[in-house]
Amino acid sequence: MSRLDELAERVERLVLRHEELKRTNALLEQQLSSVTTERDSLRARLAAARARIDALLERLPADGPASIEIDKP
């Protein structure tokens, strides 16, 4: 009978461990989803910033600072 009790106890521990791992997995999936959303948002912000920088660069004179004439008195 003690062998059966030991087996039942081991099964009980395995069931508890399984439930714990399921909860941990669910939390990790939530964290992954959150981090993925944040990453996508940051990528979008980076793309927008790059577009703004590119637009500003397009507005610069083609020859750079040397092409700006300064009136001398």
12-60 pLDDT per residue, tens: 999 999 999 999 999 999 999 999 999 999 999 999 999 999 999 999 9
What element of type H or E holds 48?
helix 2-59
DSSP 67: G
**Region for residue 71 given its phi and psi (left: phi exceeds 0; alpha: psi -120 to 50; beta: otherwise):** beta
Residue 1: per-residue pLDDT: 73
Where residue 66 falls among pLDDT bands split at 50, 70, 90?
A: low
Question: Which residue's entry shows tokens 């750079």?
Answer: 64
Q: pTM of the predicted model, to two decimals? A: 0.65
Cβ neighbours for 67, distance < 8 A, ≥ 6 positions apart: 61
1-5, 19-23, 36-40, 67-71: which has the minimum mean pLDDT?
67-71
Distance CA 38, CA 31 (A): 10
